[in-house]
Structure 1
Amino acid sequence: MTSHATEADLESLLHDALKSTETETHWTVDADDMWCRLTPGSATPRTQGWKLHVSATAASAPEVLARCLDVLLREESAFKFARSLEQVSALNTRATPRGSSGKFLTVYPSSDADAARIAQQLHRATAGLAGPRILSDQPYAAHSLVHYRYGAFVGRRRLSDEGLLVWYIEDPDGNPVEDKRTGQYDPPPWAVSPFPQSVPAPPRTEQAAARPVLLGGRFSVREAIRHTNKGGVYRGTDVTTGAPVVLKETRPHVEADASGCDVRDWLRAEARTLEKLRGTGLAPEPLATFEVGGHLFLAQEEVPGIPLRTWVAEHFRDAGSDQYRADALAQAVRLAELVAAAHARGCVLRDFTPGNVMVRPDGELRLIDLELAVLREDDALPTRVGTPGFSAPERLLDAPVSPTADYYSLGATICFVLAGKVPNLLAEEPADRPAEERLAAWLTACTAPLGLPAALRETVLGLMRDDPAERWDPARALAALRTTALPHPARPAAAPPPAGAAADEVDAAIDGMVEHLVDTMNPADDRRLWPVSTLAGEADPCSVQQGAAGVLAVLTRYFALTGDPRLPGLISTAGRWTAARTDTRSTRPGLHFGGRGTAWALYEAGRATDDRTLVDHALALALAPQDPTPSHDITHGSAGSGLAAAHLWHRTGDPRLAGLVTDAADRLAAAARREPAAVSWPVPAEAVSTEAGKRYLGFAHGTAGIACFLLAAAAVTERQEHMELALAAGEHLAACAVRVGDAVHWPAHTADLPTAPYWCHGSAGIGSFLVRLWQATGDDRFRDLARGAARAVVERASRAALTQCHGLAGNGDFLLDLADATGESSYRAMAEDLARLIVAERARRGSHVVFPNEYGEVSTSWSDGTAGILAFLLRIRHTEPRHWMVQQPV
């Protein structure tokens, strides 16, 4: 069988091959958006074993497939392949995860002997064709497109100790073992390879780190800065001079286009740009380019300092908001000067971002990572690569090279320096609102609370105009920046829109979010009731954190507030979908990742809809035995299980639930590490080995959440020791507080620096406990610390994501807690400011309103999506208690 390499329809190649191959085997063909799968009727089903991967580029994929089909149809082996050239390209970008990159075609042999024989035939058939090395696998031979690894043949998943779904295989004794897909070949110890060892296995990372590496005969490698699919970036030393250097590596055939151009060509372009800028002080000095094993390296001087993105976070943390504002304005001037200087030397940057600028110890700025930069006399390599939020819209469509795209990026970078963030303005449907109008609304919502003058808002908007011809150039921006004075006092009163207008916007957002949740529920999907983002891992589909329980709880609350007639049936359907997938014989511990959090949501749903079956299932789930756990915290451990039991005890008075509360409190009392000046709950080694011994302070994983449960438990058990332990935890948190001006911060754990002020690890979560401890004890020190935590939350508002776990929704809930506890309207006003920031980042899609999570995706979940944001906005418009907190007697 033959094929033309220009053939773009991969599925047509398959159908032609099936027609022309002389075989009596019946093949089952199944396709989804990504893969086309073929299974012969003669296939022997296997759940795991040695499987083969064949790599390809978008240019070589048709020929690779054609040659592989000759082998695989004759061998009658099950296989799958990426069904389009677009999918082939997506598997081979610089951003593709290293564990999955390059895997154009996968073969599932019926036996180890078949695997060895088919691998040899595929290797011979594809010899000489182009494709990247697959990092998770072992190449069959040097420069071969054929690779192999031991792994799962069918998708079997289980919940890990961290509460995330992971793929697994079984060891010879039948025990589940995670099937890790990483950027390194790492077969399980019991798997005996049937393949010839013609290519030495790469050394383990720790072994490689122990041996000095000399590249290009001149540069010794000290450490890796990062590894990505396109290659590594390393710190090293020029052994001829002793000077520190940075070495950038690019792998063959990664992000290869139809012409064969790949990331190595981009690195050559960067080398030309650095040579053009040599001696200007704008960028690192180039030292050498050289190849090692087909990988292209660029050696350049190491620029001392930190990336601008890091400077923005660390300088704000260390200097405090007032000093930071002044320094940020000076930094904005330097940024405009830097872009102007590059343009004056004929260099268009094309990817000017906070990650591509270094801040030297003397405060001066330097450009780095200039792989997309273009010298005006050069032909630009075509690309749609860029950085969302910082690249001009036309830049991501591969518009002709123009400095006006850099103007946009300069405006976005100045925005990031001033506000700590660039908003993620998701596409709207229909796109009735211009992007600059939406940006202006967000800037208005954040600059007034930040105490920034309106002139800075106008500068950012001028640089980021939708029309490239209307954008300010760096000279105009510099003139405006140099004449801008910061107002005094440092934190002027915000000038929010009229109360009615703000309330209307919040109400419209709430309506649109409910529409989105109603329309996206899919009970026919056995795996997920609502769509969620899984970039950070996929949790139990019934959980609070990322599953149905979190969304169900918020819709139940919405129904109780509004009586929306659509919701009783939807709540009942969602509750029964969830109940059908939860086991009352045993559950996982924890509130957000565990069974009792799900029971909490199901109980409230059953009460709201008068569904006795749902209520009974919820209580059976809450009373079910829990899997053993060494975890102490709210999200995964004893404190979370106990908090859910305390809530349900208050709702039912069931003494069995009170017993569960007592058991959890006693376990935590026994696990507490008591010292003269501190009480803590170190992470046990058997919980998360990499975290063993760390003493986290925050609400999700540490002292604040555990102590908040103990405070609630004391009201159930009426045992003074539980109250005393909660108080001791409060004293420890007070001792760990870090004051920066009026703001109070905490580190994530006791050996760390102060972290961002969020629910999971920072001020918002710890403040949520301290305000309750103040209510229980009357000790004003805890109230004052909570006030300082509120200041930390407000100062960082413009920098935050929008969500519950580490964003504005969780922070706003804390401010509302403080307003309710103190009776002071100023904290509700602060929460309303946060609501305006959230609403300013909304996207309208028909009747739906959606918001981006921190990865730029739309998710419905509690922790990072619509449900958590909706819960906070409902509290803004209605006086309601906070979700997942037990109301304390005052």
Structure 2
Amino acid sequence: MEKRYELYCLADPTFYDSPVAGPDDPDFDLAHRTVPGGWARTRQPGTVAYRPVASAPPGEGWKIHVSARVDEAPQVLAKVGEYCLERELAFHFARTRSILHLNNAEHAAPGSSGTFLVVHPADEAELETALAELGDLLEGHRGPAVPGGLRCGGGPLYVRYDLDGEGGRAVLTRHDAAGPPKPPEHVFAPPSHVTPPAFLLPFTAARDHSASADLPYRLVKVLRRTNGCVVHLASDARTGEPVLLKEAHPHAGLDGTGADAVARLSHERQVLERLAGLGVAPELRAYFTLDDRHYLAMDLIPGEPLSEVFAGRHPLGGAGEVDLEGYVEWATEICAVVEDAVMKVHMNGLVLGDLDMSAFMVRPDGGVTLVGLDAARPVLEAAGTGLAGSGFGAPAGSVGFDVDRFALACLRFALFLPLTEMFLLDRGKAAELAEAIRRSFPLKEGFLRPAVRIVGGGETRDVPPLDDWRQMRSSMARAILASATPERTDRLFPGDIAQFESGGLGFAHGAAGVLYALHVTGAGRYPDHEEWLLSRALNGARGGRPGFYDGAHGIAHTLANLGHHQAALELVEASGRDRTAAPGIDLYGGLAGIGLNQIYLGEPDKALGTAGVVADRLAGGPPGGTGLMYGASGPALLFLRLYEKTGDVQWLDQAETALRLDLGRCAIQADGSLRVTEGRRVLTGLDRGSVGISWVLGEFLRYRADPELSAARQRLDRAARSLFHRHPGLFTGRAGALAYLCRDRAGGWGLEDPEAGRQLAALSWHSMTYQGHLAFPGERLLRLSMDLATGTAGVLLAVGGALHGEPVGLPFLSGAIPASRPDAAARETSRAERG
């Protein structure tokens, strides 16, 4: 579970919102004080940058990363900022305390921690001087380690060679990608073409004398890495017995109270000591420190986490015949075993407090052992947080044993329909999900009754209509419009947390995608909202992202679709200037999406040039991702549309080559379906999984018969027919499967496929309300979303694909791309309308 979503729940009870106060938050003095003469200051959503006006923007090179504890950050910034201003060193820093806390939070990305400031020396001589002088200046200050950084001295200074010019972890060049594997992000490893200066050698020597050499355990492999904590499979150096070894780093992995990973590990030690001998928790082996790291060793419990056992057994995720009665028998038995284990913990005066399926290890004998006990508290201290990253979080106001009772009630739901995060948005959803479970599984009548009582709390809900297209369209549109915040500059419609990285304008997670869905489904046009998009897109075009789903080309597509063709051309032209980093070749943010939109904008020559670059890059190997949005199927779609435009068979050949690259990332599953596999993950969705690949492969097979590819498509197609989808959204959930099933409706398909009707009806599992109107939760189900990729606008588009009077859907996917270029008079009208 990606718990960083919880941080975006703190600002608003209904939608994901930025965990910071806003773009003018004056938390740190340098973020808002008067800028000295000769300096330029720029603000981004998360950072503030200072640069001497006479110098060029920072580029690739050695950077000094300064870390800091949240409570010491103002003092560290004052010292480092004054130093850099005096010596004309460019620098940037996290804008607020809350952003710094967010970067160092327990469930933030492991590579995000540590860095508070980044200093940009002009050369190696300046790097050496600044390291020495800042080391003296910051003596006594502490901070979390910077992943991938080389610690220099005893203070919070780290050196890293960054390729992106912003002090972030840059992607290796294509030359590097073809060579040795990229080192992990937490390891100091400059690119192959860079030699560290001699004055760094003493620091590398100190690093090479690793504390792990003194460990009384041999490290076998890393099982899990979070921000501030590493879980190792290890063996006792004396006996050879396998153990689980947890390693905690100071000042990192902060929780909501500010406690770091070390504090939580120390607390877990106390809980294990209290539960020793009960048979419900691992036995503690040792607790010790080396340098500044803390370690806890415990028995290695044989078995698998309940979350993985459940995923392998759940019958609604497949497309074949299933043993529902056998599954019900197993699920009710495992519930009883888990409840018995939790009762033993309660009898010892503790409340577990952070239960989910991964908290229970299912042993080979059928019993369970509790793991991850750092959230356990004495009964008088336990309280619900109102957060549900685990899916079982108790509402705020719950206290004592009721916190765990709520979680155990959620478990009874989750073993059949794991959608329990929605209960904190609407507890009245419990009765509705219970009814859906009873219709799908042969459960005994009384099994869910106590769970409905505990979770539902007596609440009921009015369910919006899900059987009439006009009513559904009107209701979803009203919900979307009611959520709009035109007074804000960072977003117009609430959506996924990705909108705070991409700027709130884009096709996937911003205003462009929402306005597109409203327009093409017949839900109307909204000039004030179009003007909000126009003004912000054109004002911020230079230097922005160029891609389709995350940048300028997707915004331009919507503008052209709405008749603002000249503005669309101006936007894509401006977005291409002053660009230092070439985009990838994928559909989401890369050249495949750009090329497809160039066809739409009436620029076929540019599209041919773009496709040529994509083909050349694809010849060097597949993209890093998979599927329609991130893999080779996006380039295949570009090649197919060019074949339709030109009749040149080379593009059909290129499409086949690309599709076979994505098919090589798929494996046949137990139900006979063909699905994308990434390690232990199996991906079905429209964006990265089988559904998107099947869609493009079906388009290819219109033009070239191939028995092998046709058989593969039939297996891919089965993945779209799974009844259970964890999310309702277009990119990863049920709406994407529905859109795929109705892709050929112009030719008479539509709801003639019984599976399309079944998927449409099952959207009710996720249906919620916003101000009385139909809406849907986004990724992780913790908050509502209105965006195209994850939320209500995407569901609107998919349902429109099934029921609207005219075929609608995602751009470029159904048939040849129509030209959008208007005649000269129309262009002049568009220009005049914009003043």
1:72-471 superposed matches below 5 A? 86=98, 88-107=100-119, 116-117=128-129, 119-142=131-154, 144-151=155-162, 182-187=185-190, 190=194, 193=197, 198-200=202-204, 216-217=215-216, 219-254=217-252, 262-316=260-314, 322-323=322-323, 325-326=327-328, 327-374=330-377, 388-393=389-394, 402-424=400-422, 435-444=426-435, 448-449=439-440, 455-464=446-455
Task: Report the CA distance between 1:250 and its aligned residue.
Answer: 0.9
Cα contact 2:41–2:48 (8 A) shared by 1: yes
Q: Which residue of 2 aligns with 1:884?
A: 811
Change (3 A) 1:446 1:824: farther
Cα contact 1:630–1:684 (8 A) shared by 2: no
Q: Which residue of 2 aligns with 1:810?
A: 736
Task: Report the CA distance between 1:298 and its aligned residue.
Answer: 0.7
Structure 2 residue matching 1:351: 3-state secondary structure: coil
Q: Which residue of 2 aligns with 1:675?
A: none
TM-score, scaled to structure 1: 0.68
Structure 1 residue matching 2:204: 3-state secondary structure: coil
Structure 1 residue matching 2:250: 3-state secondary structure: coil
Residue identity in the other structure for 2:233: R
Q: Which residue of 2 aligns with 1:851?
A: 777
How far apart are the structure 2 equivalents of 1:151 and 1:404?
Answer: 49
Change (3 A) 1:684 1:444: farther
Residue identity in the other structure for 1:811: A
Task: Report the CA distance between 1:234 and its aligned residue.
Answer: 0.6
Q: 2:475 aligns with which of 487, 505, 508?
A: 508
Task: Report the CA distance between 1:119 and its aligned residue.
Answer: 4.2
Residue identity in the other structure for 1:837: W
Alignment deviations for residues 286-306 of structure 1 (CA, whole Å, 9 cap, x no partner):
211111112111111212222
Change (3 A) 1:62 1:39: closer
How far apart are the structure 2 equivalents of 1:763 and 1:532?
Answer: 25
Q: Which residue of 2 aligns with 1:760?
A: 687
**2:505 is the counterpart of 1:550:** no
Cα contact 1:410–1:463 (8 A) shared by 2: no
Q: 2:562 aligns with which of 582, 601, 605?
A: 605
Task: Report the CA distance between 1:333 and its aligned residue.
Answer: 2.8
How far apart are the structure 2 equivalents of 1:306 and 1:849?
Answer: 36
Task: Report the CA distance between 1:202 and its aligned residue.
Answer: 7.3
Task: Report the CA distance between 1:220 and its aligned residue.
Answer: 0.7
Structure 2 residue matching 1:343: 3-state secondary structure: helix
Change (3 A) 1:451 1:826: farther
Alignment deviations for residues 635-666 of structure 1 (CA, whole Å, 9 cap, x no partner):
57887677667878xxxxx8x85x99999999
Alignment deviations for residues 49-91 of structure 1 (CA, whole Å, 9 cap, x no partner):
6554443334545665677688678778776666765555444
Change (3 A) 1:661 1:830: farther
Residue identity in the other structure for 1:123: G
Task: Report the CA distance between 1:362 and its aligned residue.
Answer: 4.0
Cα contact 1:831–1:876 (8 A) shared by 2: no
Cα contact 1:273–1:375 (8 A) shared by 2: no
How far apart are the structure 2 equivalents of 1:180 and 1:859?
Answer: 36
Change (3 A) 1:794 1:536: farther
Q: Which residue of 1 aligns with 2:825?
A: none
Task: Report the CA distance between 1:794 and its aligned residue.
Answer: 5.1
Alignment deviations for residues 784-833 of structure 1 (CA, whole Å, 9 cap, x no partner):
99898776445443x42222221122112123337751762634422322
How far apart are the structure 2 equivalents of 1:45 and 1:730?
Answer: 43
Task: Report the CA distance between 1:223 and its aligned residue.
Answer: 0.9
How far apart are the structure 1 equivalents of 2:669 and 2:65?
Answer: 55
Q: Which residue of 1 aligns with 2:674?
A: 746
How far apart are the structure 2 equivalents of 1:707 and 1:151?
Answer: 33
**2:767 is the counterpart of 1:839:** yes
Alignment deviations for residues 534-584 of structure 1 (CA, whole Å, 9 cap, x no partner):
6599569886445665344324314xx2455xx25644774686578889x
Task: Report the CA distance between 1:268 and its aligned residue.
Answer: 2.4
Cα contact 2:506–2:554 (8 A) shared by 1: yes
Task: Report the CA distance between 1:883 and its aligned residue.
Answer: 2.5
Cα contact 2:483–2:494 (8 A) shared by 1: no
Change (3 A) 1:500 1:790: same
Q: Which residue of 2 aligns with 1:481?
A: none
Give the share of equivalent positions with the same residue, in percent: 22
Cα contact 1:699–1:765 (8 A) shared by 2: yes
How far apart are the structure 2 equivalents of 1:118 and 1:383?
Answer: 48
Structure 1 residue matching 2:676: 3-state secondary structure: coil
Task: Report the CA distance between 1:390 and its aligned residue.
Answer: 3.5
CA RMSD of aligned residues (A): 5.9
Cα contact 2:512–2:555 (8 A) shared by 1: yes
Cα contact 1:98–1:136 (8 A) shared by 2: no
Q: Which residue of 1 aligns with 2:11?
A: none
Cα contact 1:98–1:229 (8 A) shared by 2: yes
Change (3 A) 1:203 1:866: farther
1:7-26 superposed matches below 5 A? none
Cα contact 1:357–1:365 (8 A) shared by 2: yes
**2:794 is the counterpart of 1:868:** yes
Structure 1 residue matching 2:302: 3-state secondary structure: coil
Alignment deviations for residues 417-457 of structure 1 (CA, whole Å, 9 cap, x no partner):
22134334676xxxxxxx32144445545663567666454
TM-score, scaled to structure 2: 0.71
How far apart are the structure 1 equivalents of 2:738 and 2:763?
Answer: 8
Alignment deviations for residues 855-886 of structure 1 (CA, whole Å, 9 cap, x no partner):
85666653334542331243455233222255
How far apart are the structure 1 equivalents of 2:368 and 2:442?
Answer: 25
Select the structure with the greater relative contact order (CA < 8 A; seq sep ≥ 6).
2
Task: Report the CA distance between 1:514 and its aligned residue.
Answer: 3.8
How far apart are the structure 2 equivalents of 1:740 and 1:169?
Answer: 37
Q: Which residue of 2 aligns with 1:56?
A: 68
How far apart are the structure 2 equivalents of 1:580 and 1:64?
Answer: 35
How far apart are the structure 2 equivalents of 1:256 and 1:739?
Answer: 39
